[in-house]
Structures are given as C-alpha cells and as structure tokens.
Amino acid sequence: MNHQLTAFIDDLRSTHRSNLVAVILYGSAATGDHDHRRSDYNLLVVLDAIGPEDLRNAQAAVREWAKLGHSVPVYFTAKEVENAADVFPIEFHQMKRARKVLYGRDVLAGVEISNENLRHQVEFELRSKLIMLRRQYIPASAAVDGLENLMSESLVSFIALFRGVLMVMGDEPPVDRHGTLALAVEKLALNGRPFETIYNIRRNNLAAEMTEVDANKLFADYMNEIERVIEAVDGITG
C-alpha cells in the first residue's frame, strides 16, 4: 500500500506541479482502524487553484489509482479548506482527528470547528440517514443476508456521526470506531447490544447465524437506538 500511495503522489506532483499544496490521508487508514475488505483509502488533495483543466489533467493519475480499487480523492483549494469548516464540520473534524500528511503542508492544522454548526449538521445527517435506512429496509427485509448487509454497511456512517454527537456534548471522541461507539453508548445511556452485534458482523466479515425473526428484531432494536440518539441531539438544542 505504501508503494501505491508513493506512486500516486508522484503522479499528482507531475500533474499539478507547483499548484499542488498537500496530499493528506484521512480516516481509518490513517489511524490503523482500517479494514482493507471494506474501507477506502480516503485522500484529500489540496491545490492553490482548481479549474476544469486541473481536474482534466488529473484524469490519468486518478484512473490508475481507481484501477487499484480506491475511491477518487476529494479536491479542495487551500482557501476552501480555511473557509469550509462551517459547512462540513463533521468531515473536517474527522480529517483533523485522523490524518496523515503524505505530501506538502498540514493545511488542516489551523481549522477551527464551530459547535453550533456541528450540532446542526449532526442532527440533519442523523435524520437523513435514518430516513434512508427505513427506505432501504423495505427491499432488504426480504432476506436475512440483505438485512445483515444493510445494518453492517450503515453502522459505519452512524458511528461517524456519533463522533459529532460526542463533540456537541463536550466529549472528545476516540479516534477508532469501536471506542467511539462504546463511548456514545455510555454517554447517551443506549442499549449497546444491537450495535455490538452489528459491529461484530461487519468486523468479522461473516454472516451471523440468525433467523429471519432474529434479523428483523435486531434491525428494530438498532433503529430504536438511533432514534434515541436523535432525540438526545435535538434535546441539546433546547
């Protein structure tokens, strides 16, 4: 993986030259909490200026990176990094907490996160993902493996939002996913059993031996606890 990253950064340097400010690895891969079977290598590419020509020129480098099974990097200008934290407080907080500068300067070091903006985005994202979870449940409920996949894939997104919930409550969330989940369960007095069951299904990459009744009961408990998290965040506003 180090070889792939080095080769990709060399390609980016050749492509963007003096316009390239930084390349930053963020997320689970930067913290050691990475599952190569499911997780992406998230990269932030920062340029001084971004125009259509800059993005077109990156096509060859990004194509080779994508051929290796990786997602397309996120492109920001250095100015946008300074000014966009009020719009994307959760994402920028995750980048600040779990990052590794692979090239250039650490443009995230001076980024500050507003608690008010963070709370607003956390509640919005939680409610949006809960609505999506309900929609996806309808087709997934036809089979146990469909339900297991839905729960294990959605849990990562909710854990990322739990980090924001903990910050709004004045706590510093752990960098790793399981630590964040455990602290959220503790601070919000949640029933941790459905979360732990789903986390283990995802982490082990194995189907649990559940009947259809068991899988639907697990989903009901899972959804109920997410609703409790939303209620808690909404209560903070009051």
Predicted confidence (pLDDT) per residue in 125-148, tens digit: 999 999 999 999 999 999 999 999
Looking at the 3D structure of the chain, how many domains does it have? 2
Q: Which of 104, 136, 164 is the last residue of a domain?
A: 104
Same domain, 56 and 141: no
| Segment among 29-38, 64-73, 139-148 with least mean pLDDT | 29-38
pLDDT at 180: 94
Same domain, 98 and 120: no
- What SS3 string covers 34-73? CCCCCCCCEEEEEECCCCHHHHHHCHHHHHHHHHCCCCCC
- 109 lies in a domain? no
- 170 lies in a domain? yes
Same domain, 187 and 207: yes
pLDDT at 152: 94
Q: CB 71: neighbour CB atoms within 10 A?
A: 12
pLDDT digit string, tens, across residues 98-132: 899 999 999 999 998 888 888 999 999 999 999 99
- 15 lies in a domain? yes
- Taking each helix axis as running N to C, give the angle between helix 115-140 and helix 144-168, from 0 to 180 degrees, rounded to the nearest 10: 170
pLDDT at 238: 46
Q: What tokens were used for 132? A: 């999506």
pLDDT digit string, tens, across residues 183-205: 999 999 999 999 999 999 988 76
The residue range of the domain holding 120 is 115-237
